[in-house]
Amino acid sequence: MLKINISILFLTLSVLSCSHKEQKKIAKTPVNSLTFLKKFNKASKHLDNFNYNKSIKLFKEILNSHAPEKFKSLIWYNLGRGYESVGNYKQANKCYRSSILKSSKAYKKLKTLSFVRLAYTYKFLNQPDKELSTLIEAYKEKKYLPYSVSNIQLPINLGSVYWILNNKSLAKKFFLEAEKNILTTKIKYRDPKKKINIIAKAFYLSSKLPRWSKKYKSINKYVEELFVLQIYLLRASALNSDKWSKKSSKELLKSYKLIFKELKKLKHQQRLEKLEGQDPPQKRGGPDPQNAQKTNRDSDPQKTKKTQKTKKAYKLLRKSLLYNLSKVLSASKDLKSSQNLKSFQNIKSKTLKNLIKKLKQYQLRLKKTKTIKN
């Protein structure tokens, strides 16, 4: 998660204190200024310590009080981070938009960071067109962003959304840009551990997917986006970063677990529909041939259509899932010898080994379902 250093606040305060006009204002309301600082620092501390609900409450109180106008952009941004962290992307979206509106020329970095976070909320709110336009705004001012965000995370995000919007050529352009920047990163940072953490973090943050039910109308769209981003999660797992490799591995497995859950639901639905389509147990004396013929004529076409639709959805999802697994497992074989990981010198990742093992189990389990009659 991107963070704004609280020192920005104190730096701005010190600049403001140099203004004669502002000195008079502060002199008139010293208690309010101290109260504001105290509350802001407390709310920021809650945010950094993952006490998101407490931070949200305090930042809202600060906004409802007479907070200095020049700090409102920062307050809205931090409030947005709080809402985003608890999964309230609608409120987070409003906060980031307010942060952008309130930001001045002196807050270019904060404004650009707000665009990045705003795009992230649009991703979770199933608004890819707005996500794209917001990412483009951030890309225009990428010089104000942290190195890993501007050079790796942002190009991957742009590539991903272009892919979802079926603009494959532009998607590939940004994915290629990310690859070139990864090579530059390895030259820029000499410390192997530092460069590994920078790249693994960028891979994870750019590839984290929303849970599909909150974003997609169709699980197949989720599978399509996972197809693009799973390679970055795999590569992050291979880098042996103490923090980001395990997170990336868990994220990828969580995504597959979710898809299998939906596949299981479709299978169960298919079986129920099959049972509904069967003739009910006959009563003594036997059925009335005329009524039975009429019932079959009226209900069978509808039931058959519904069953065929579920069967088709199941087969499509199963096929897509098998394709994704084959691609990610194929990529894992060549991972250590690939150009972008070659200079990290014989990385032996236990996290990657366990991840591949579990993905193979998923693949085997999925192949076995082929023998089940639908």
Q: What is the pLDDT of residue 28?
A: 38
3-class SS of residue 331: helix
CA separation for the pair 186, 188 (Å, rounded): 6
Per-residue model confidence as pLDDT tens digits over 286-304 = 555 555 555 544 456 666 7
Q: What is the pLDDT of residue 350?
A: 83
For residue 279, what is the DSSP state? P
From residue 67, alpha-carbon distances to 33, 76, 103 in Å are 8, 11, 14
Q: What is the pLDDT of residue 93?
A: 96
CB 76 within 8 A of CB 64: no
Residues of the chain with pLDDT under 70: 1-32, 211-217, 277-303, 336-348, 370-374
CB 262 within 8 A of CB 317: yes
State pTM to two decimals: 0.76
Per-residue model confidence as pLDDT tens digits over 245-259 = 999 999 999 999 989
Q: What is the pLDDT of residue 69?
A: 83
221-250 CB burial, b ≥16 within 10 A, e <16: ebbbbbebbbbbbbbbbbbbbeebbbbbbe
From residue 280, alpha-carbon distances to 228, 276, 285, 296, 374 in Å are 47, 9, 14, 12, 20
